[in-house]
Structure 1
Amino acid sequence: MKFTANLAGAVSGLTIMVSAAAVNAEVLFWSTQAKPVEEAQAMREQVLGGQDVDYQPNDGGPWMTRLNAELQAGSGSIGVLGALHGDFSAMNPDDLVDLGELGVGAASATFNDLAKLGTADSQYIPWMQASYIMAANKKALEHLPAGADINALTYDQLIEWSGNVKKATGEAKFGFPAGPKGLKHRFFQGYLYPSYTDGVVRTFASDAAVTAWEKMRELWAVTNPASTNFSFLQEQLLSEDVWIAFDHTSRLAAAFNERPDDFVAFPAPAGPTGRGFMPVIAGVAIPRTAPDMDAAKALVAHMLKPETQIATLRATNFFPVVDVALPDDLPPSVQAAGGAVAIMSASADANPGLLPAGLGDKGGDFNRVFVDSFERIVLAGQPIRAVLDDQKKTLEKIMNETGAPCWAPDAPSEGACPVE
C-alpha cells in the first residue's frame, strides 16, 4: 500500500534547498493544525525533532490576526504557515511566496492545482489530508457486478452491487449515515454533487442535480431503511446490519481495528463529472514577510519527506500526500483507510468537493439546505425539480448574506457564489 506522489524534480529541488538534513535557523511554524496539547507535543518531538523550529498552533482567529499584522507591517517573525486550504484561499496570493522551485508536491495533480489558488504559482504545498471513504464486509465482494473494480467503482455499479446483495440475502445492506448525527450533508456536498454536476452551489438546482437526486433515490432503494438512525457506520458493519457503507474514516475505524480481516476499504464511486470526494487538505506556505526564506523553504521541504509524512500521520491522524509505504505497526484502520484515501485522491478522475468556506455562522444553515433536500426528495418522495427550485431560494439567501465566494469544484466567483 503506497501513497503515489509527483516528485518530479524533487531530488534537484531538495539538493538546492536542503543541503543539510536539518533546518539551519529557527523558524516560527505558525499553524492552525495539531492544536491539542498531545498533538502539538508530538509535532515538536516526533515530526520536528532535530529541526530548529518553534511550532506554535493557534485557533484560526489569532492565527490570522498575527499574520495580517505582520503582512501590513511589511516584516515579521512567522517563517512557515500551516493551515487548511480554505484558510489559504481566503488570502491574497501576493502575500504568499511561490514554492514551485522546491520541486515537491502531492500525489494528486488536482491537489497541486488547488494549491495554486487560481494563479500560475504554487501558493502552498499540500501537507496532509483526511477524507470520507467506503467500506465493505468481504462477504459482499462475491456480489460485485461483473468486471467491476472495487477501487474504481461508478455509482451505477455501487447501486447494482447493493442490489445484488439485497437479492442474495433478502436484506438491503448498503448503509448510509442518515441519522441525526450522521454526516450525510458531506456526502451530498462532497461526493454526489461533484460527481454529477461538477459543482455544489452554482449547480445546486441544475438539470444535472436532478439526475444526481434521481440516482440517490435509486441508491436509497437498496439501502438499509434503518439508515435514518445510523450515525457511525462502524457499529452497523460490526453487527452486519450493513455490508457496504460510506462514512468518515474516523467513524469506520472501530470495525477495522476490531475485525481487520473481515472488511475492506475503498474509494468513493465516480459519476459523469468525476470521482467526487471531500478531502480535508492542509498545506504549508511561506508568507512574503518570512525573515529567513532559505530556512523557511528548507522546513517546507522537510515536511514533504516520506519519513516526515509518516511521523505526521502518527502525530495527527492526517494521511500523507506523498509517496510512502505505511508501516506495519500502524492500527489496521489507518492501514485500510490510508490506502483508500491514497487511491481516491490520486485517481485520474478525482474531483474534490472542498469543505464549505466563508460561511461563518451560516454553515449550519448551508448544511440544512442539503439535508432538507434529501428528506423531501428521498424520504418524502416529493418532486425533485420543485424541491430544488424551492431550496434554491434559501441557498441564494445564505450565499448573498455571507458573501462567500465559490470553492472547488465550482468555478471561482467575484463576490458571493451564485446559485445559477
Structure 2
Amino acid sequence: MTDSYFRPPPIGPSRRSMLLAGLGTALSLPFLSACSGFDTSGAAAGAGSVGFLSTQFTPVEEKQRYEAVLKKFVKVPVAYNSVANNVFASTVQSQEESGNVRLSLLGGLHGDLAPLSKSLDDVDYLLRDLAGSGFSKDILELAKVGGPTSKYVPWMQATYLVAVNKKALEWLPSGVDVNDLRYEDYLAWAKAAKKGAGRPVFGMPAGPKGLHHRFYQGFLLPSFTGGQITTFRNPDAVTAWNYMRELWDNMVPASTNYDAMQEPLARGEVLVAWDHVARLVGAPAAKPEDWLMVPAPRGPKGRGYMLIVAGLALPKGGLERERSEQVIRSLMEPPTQIETLRKNAFFPVIQTELPTDLAGAIALEAAAVRRQQRSPGALLALPPVGVGAKDGEVSQIFKNCFQEICLNGSPVQPVLDQQATQLNTILKALAVPCWAPDPVSPGTKCEVA
C-alpha cells in the first residue's frame, strides 16, 4: 500500500490548507453503499452521472471539500467515491472480468493505476488536446506506465522537501546556496550547526510511523546510485549508506521518536528537517517569515526526488465517456487546480501562475516543489509500483538498513547483501517490473543485481 500520510486534527478555515491529501484508511463496504449514490461495486446511481472512483481524499472532511471543488468547476453531475487502494483495484478488475463495467472515471496514484493498465483505455488523444497545459516531461512519461501509449491524464502531485528555520542559516557553509544543496553541503551544515548550537539541530522522521524509508528509496539512493532497487547493494550504495551513517551521527537522536517533523520543528527541537510536504506544513504556519522550504540535496547521480503523482483514467467499457472526458478537461483548468491546492493542498501538475494569497506555508512549499522538480539534474523516483499489500515489507527492508547501519553500527556491505536477499525474495514472488529511477521494462522482473 502507499504511504499513510499524516493528517492534522480539524482546524479553522484560515488554516485548512494545512491538510494534504493522500491515501487514508480503508472505508467499510456499508459506507460505500451509503455514499455518493454508489453501491458496493462502485456503480454510479442515475443515468447521466459520472461515476468517479478514487483512492484520494478518503477522510470525510477532505472528500467533502473535493466534492465542493467538483460542484463549483465541473458542469456535469459527478458521483465521487473515495476508497482504499485494495478496494479500488478489486472493483476495477472485477467489473472488467464480469463484462459489466459501471464506472465512468478513475482517479488514483501512479502506483494505483499502473498495475491496472490493461483495464484502462488510452488517453493520448486527451493529452494532445491538453498539450498547452504544460505538463512536465517526467510526468507525461509516467503516464505511459512503461508502454507506448498514455493510460492516464496527470491530475495532481505532492513530494518531500527540506524545511529550514532561518536560525540555522548562520551555520550554513560559506558559498553554499541553500536552494541548491549538495549532500556534502548538507552534512557539513549539520556538523557546523551541531557545533555552533552545542547540540544537533538537524532531524528526520525515523519514528515508528515516520516516512524515513522514502528518503532512502527516493532521495539518498537515487542521488548516489541512480537507482533504487537494481543498484541496492552496489559500491555506490555502500558510499550512500556510509554517508547516511555520518549524517545520522549529526542529527537529533530523538529523531527515532518523530513520526512527523512539523511538531519538533515548531517546538524548536529541530531547525532543519526533510519530510513529506504534509508533515512539514504545520511548522511555519504561525510565522512563515521565519522559515524556508528548499529542495532536497543533489548527489553524484543527480537530485533524486520522490514524486507522488495522481492521475485520471478511463476504464475500458466505462459509462458516460463523453461526460467523463468533460470532467477531466475541467479538472485540468488552472482555477480547478488552484482550488484543489487551496482545499486539500495537492499541487498543480499544469503550468500555471499561483495566486499571491496562498497561506504562507503552502506558498513556501509550492515554490520549493517547482524548484526541486525543475532543477538541473533532477532525477525522478517513485514509491514502489505494483507491489500492493507488500509495500510495507519492501519499505521495511530500507528501514532495516537504517537500523543496522546507523543505529547498530554494522558494516555496510554485509547488511546490504543480507537485505538484498530478502528484498529479492519479495520481488520474486511479486514478479513486477521495476519503477523509476530504475529501468522500467514491461514484462521483465525487478530484482537487485
Normalising by structure 2, we get a TM-score of: 0.81
- Distance of 2:326 and 2:190 partners within structure 1: 49
- Distance of 2:89 and 2:119 partners within structure 1: 16
In structure 2, the partner of 1:102 is 129
Find 2:275's aligned residue among 247, 252, 255.
Answer: 247
In structure 2, the partner of 1:409 is 437
Q: Which amino acid aligns with 1:53?
A: P
Shift of 1:264: 0.9
Shift of 1:385: 0.9
Number of matched pairs: 396
Instruction: Please say if residues 176 and 247 of structure 1, whose CA atoms lie closer than 8 Å, have aligned partners that are also in contact.
Output: yes
Q: SS at 1:172's partner residue? A: coil
Shift of 1:205: 0.9
1:21-420 matches, cutoff 5 A = 26-49=49-72, 50-59=74-83, 60-72=85-97, 76-93=101-118, 95-99=120-124, 100-104=127-131, 107-413=135-441, 414=443, 416-420=445-449
What do residues 14-50 of structure 1 show as CA deviations (whole Å, max 9, x unaligned)?
A: xxxxxxxxxxx75333322223333333223223435
Shift of 1:405: 2.9
Q: Which amino acid aligns with 2:108?
A: A
- Distance of 2:142 and 2:82 partners within structure 1: 24
Shift of 1:183: 1.8
Q: SS at 1:120's partner residue? A: coil
Shift of 1:238: 2.5
Q: Which amino acid aligns with 1:101?
A: R
Instruction: Please say if residues 33 and 57 of structure 1, whose CA atoms lie closer than 8 Å, have aligned partners that are also in contact.
Output: no
- Distance of 2:149 and 2:376 partners within structure 1: 22
Instruction: Please say if residues 175 and 245 of structure 1, whose CA atoms lie closer than 8 Å, have aligned partners that are also in contact.
Output: yes
Q: Which amino acid aligns with 2:81?
A: P
- Distance of 2:68 and 2:271 partners within structure 1: 40
With 263-272 and 43-52 compared, the bigger mean Cα shift is at 43-52
Q: SS at 2:232's partner residue? A: coil
State the superposition RMSD in angstroms.
2.4
Shift of 1:74: 6.3
Q: Which amino acid aligns with 1:419?
A: V
1:202–1:225 Cα change, 3 Å: same
Shift of 1:201: 1.7
Q: Which amino acid aligns with 2:291?
A: F
Instruction: Please say if residues 266 and 284 of structure 2, whose CA atoms lie closer than 8 Å, have aligned partners that are also in contact.
Output: no
Instruction: Please say if residues 168 and 272 of structure 2, whose CA atoms lie closer than 8 Å, have aligned partners that are also in contact.
Output: yes
Instruction: Please say if residues 334 and 350 of structure 2, whose CA atoms lie closer than 8 Å, have aligned partners that are also in contact.
Output: yes
- Distance of 1:168 and 1:372 partners within structure 2: 32
Instruction: Please say if residues 120 and 151 of structure 2, whose CA atoms lie closer than 8 Å, have aligned partners that are also in contact.
Output: no
Instruction: Please say if residues 49 and 79 of structure 2, whose CA atoms lie closer than 8 Å, have aligned partners that are also in contact.
Output: no
In structure 1, the partner of 2:14 is none
1:47–1:347 Cα change, 3 Å: farther
Shift of 1:241: 2.6
Instruction: Please say if residues 112 and 386 of structure 2, whose CA atoms lie closer than 8 Å, have aligned partners that are also in contact.
Output: no
Shift of 1:271: 1.3
Q: SS at 2:289's partner residue? A: coil
What do residues 27-85 of structure 1 show as CA deviations (whole Å, max 9, x unaligned)?
A: 33332222333333322322343511323224234433443355456674533321110
Instruction: Please say if residues 179 and 229 of structure 1, whose CA atoms lie closer than 8 Å, have aligned partners that are also in contact.
Output: yes
Runs (4+) of structure 1 moved beyond 6 Å? none
In structure 1, the partner of 2:10 is none
- Distance of 1:372 and 1:62 partners within structure 2: 29
Instruction: Please say if residues 106 and 112 of structure 1, whose CA atoms lie closer than 8 Å, have aligned partners that are also in contact.
Output: no
What do residues 338-388 of structure 1 show as CA deviations (whole Å, max 9, x unaligned)?
A: 222222223342222212233344333222211111121122222111111
Gaps of 5+ in 2: 1-47
Q: SS at 1:257's partner residue? A: coil
1:290–1:264 Cα change, 3 Å: same
Q: SS at 2:116's partner residue? A: coil
What do residues 154-192 of structure 1 show as CA deviations (whole Å, max 9, x unaligned)?
A: 111111222232333333221122233322111111111
Instruction: Please say if residues 29 and 53 of structure 1, whose CA atoms lie closer than 8 Å, have aligned partners that are also in contact.
Output: no
Normalising by structure 1, we get a TM-score of: 0.86
Q: Which amino acid aligns with 1:27?
A: V
Shift of 1:334: 1.8
Shift of 1:90: 0.5
Instruction: Please say if residues 67 and 80 of structure 2, whose CA atoms lie closer than 8 Å, have aligned partners that are also in contact.
Output: no
Q: Which amino acid aligns with 2:218?
A: G
With 67-76 and 128-137 compared, the bigger mean Cα shift is at 67-76
- Distance of 1:419 and 1:360 partners within structure 2: 19
With 67-76 and 111-120 compared, the bigger mean Cα shift is at 67-76
1:77–1:101 Cα change, 3 Å: farther
Q: SS at 2:283's partner residue? A: helix
Q: Which amino acid aligns with 2:169?
A: L
- Distance of 2:100 and 2:377 partners within structure 1: 42
Q: Which amino acid aligns with 1:51?
A: K
Q: SS at 2:179's partner residue? A: helix
Shift of 1:209: 0.6
With 332-341 and 104-113 compared, the bigger mean Cα shift is at 104-113
With 144-153 and 154-163 compared, the bigger mean Cα shift is at 144-153
Instruction: Please say if residues 120 and 313 of structure 2, whose CA atoms lie closer than 8 Å, have aligned partners that are also in contact.
Output: no
Q: SS at 1:130's partner residue? A: strand
- Distance of 1:37 and 1:235 partners within structure 2: 24
With 53-62 and 158-167 compared, the bigger mean Cα shift is at 53-62
| Identity in percent | 39
- Distance of 1:294 and 1:409 partners within structure 2: 35
